[in-house]
Amino acid sequence: MQQVKNIRWSFLVLMLTLNFGCDQISKKIVRSEISDYEHISIIKDRFTLLKVENTGAFLSLGDQMPYIFRLIILTGLPLLFLCYGLYYLFVKKNLPVTMQVALCFLIGGGIGNLYDRIIYGSVTDFMHMDFYLFQTGVFNFADISIMIGIGILLFQSLRSKVEKEEPAETEVD
């Protein structure tokens, strides 16, 4: 039983580390190689690199708030949620594997952005996509991790709802 627990913990730590590590390595490269607001076309102006330091939340929401409010709302609250998420992830024993993976993506991405906010005072965003009809804001790998985690949770939720709605098969004589 202890071996299963060790494997589970190792898997969770590896997933968290990969999410955080990929985010931080990419941001370190961007900080050293791309100038602020430099625009680099990767795929015909549909996918571009554009380094932006975001002092707000998603799409720079809240970047005009007074510093103390930004500190509480954009650093303090996420720190509390991430600590609770880590506690829940490691203490709750019977979580489905998909839920564990989703939480690793959410928490790993959240830690990546929170780390930036604490160490640098802003979050480094650098990817932008333009799909003719709509375009994304500027984002980073932590944001991708968070969205993947949300996607997995939504998929899991919809799948379990469909499974509950399916009537039990009965045999006809």
Catalytic residues: 125, 143
Q: Which two tokens stand for residue 36?
A: 């602020």
- What are the CA-CA distances from residue 137 to residues 65, 99, 106, 127, 160 (Å)? 20, 27, 19, 8, 32
Q: Which two tokens stand for residue 157?
A: 């939720």
What is the C-alpha separation between 108 and 115, in angstroms, rounded?
10
Q: Which two tokens stand for residue 100?
A: 């564990």
The closest of 87, 137, 73, 141 to 113, measured between CA atoms, is 141
First to last CA, the chain: 45
What is the C-alpha separation between 62 and 58, in angstroms, rounded?
9
User: How open is the CA angle 119-125-127, to the nearest 5 degrees?
Assistant: 155
